[in-house]
Copies of this chain bind each other. A is one copy, B any other.
Amino acid sequence: MQTDQVTSEIFPHNVQQTLDLIGIFVFALSGGLMAVRKNMDIFGICVLAEATALGGGVLRDLVIGALPVAAFTSFGYFPTPLVAGVVVFFLHPEVERITRTVMVLDAAGLGLFCVTGTIKAHTYGLGAVPSVACGMLTAAGGGVIRDLLAMEPPSLLRWDREIYAVPALVGSAVVAILIGMGRLTPLYASLAAVVAFAMRMLALKYGWRAPRAWHRNGSRTSEE
């Protein structure tokens, strides 16, 4: 298998598209719920749903030069978060009640998007390490934009949240290694996504967190 024939789709087109839209929908739900918590109106809910669901992919497409961005050209990408926004608007107590389910689906989206993001960056000519970075950006960038727009410290960067970047890193790295070995098949790509998904689920279940800097009792000088 020639690596330059790799596309950013790891499944048959229809399957890939359906999975993408499910992932986008779930990411959008988390954006919409944040907007409700922040007391935003219906338009704030939709803006945050869009930004959360599509932000990571938009950042990836911008830095790799895949313009116009897929968020605005792929079928269903843009309207889907609006549907999620309307769902949250009317049914947010119900959506809050199934937070557990939303988090499982969010972990699935994390797994899917870190894999497809890495592959897309590779197809645009990026090397292994930057492709991994793009995979992480795709999976985690939307959540950072969501938190910034809501004026919350980015949950990705907080030590007291279960690890999110690491599962994305692992999934992306597995894909990059497979590409490097010329062995990226749909099966292996799916397995990479499952690994990232499982790692995120385990992190949630067992409260895995990452270590903070050593010697935290160091002086707190004011920043330049």
> In the complex, which residues of chain B have a beta carbon less than 8 angstroms from the beta carbon of A63?
58, 62, 67-69, 71-72
- Interface flags, A27-70, vs B, CB<8A=1, else 0: 00010011111111111110110100000001000111101110
Q: Is the CB of B157 within 8 A of A92?
A: no
- Interface flags, A113-155, vs B, CB<8A=1, else 0: 0000000010011110110011000000001100011111111
A72-B156 contact in complex given A41-B209, A42-B213, A78-B129, C-beta closer than 8 Å: no
Who on chain B is nearest to A95 by CB? B218
On A, residues with C-beta under 8 Å from B are 30, 33-45, 47-48, 50, 58, 62-65, 67-69, 71-73, 78-79, 88-93, 96, 99, 103, 106, 121, 124-127, 129-130, 133-134, 143-144, 148-159, 161, 163, 165-166, 209-216, 218-221, 223-224
Give the oligomeric copy count.
Answer: 3
A68-B125 contact in complex given A130-B73, A213-B42, A214-B92, C-beta closer than 8 Å: yes
A42-B161 contact in complex given A156-B47, A223-B155, C-beta closer than 8 Å: no
Q: Is the CB of A218 within 8 A of B71?
A: no
C-alpha gap A199/B177 in the complex (Å): 47
Q: Is the CB of B33 within 8 A of A210?
A: no
A68-B153 contact in complex given A39-B212, A214-B92, A223-B37, C-beta closer than 8 Å: no
Q: Is the CB of B159 within 8 A of A223?
A: no
Q: Is the CB of A221 within 8 A of B96?
A: yes
C-alpha gap A30/B73 in the complex (Å): 33
> Across chains A and B, which 7 residue pairs bring their CB atoms closest together, nearest first?
A65-B67, A72-B130, A41-B210, A93-B218, A44-B157, A41-B159, A36-B213
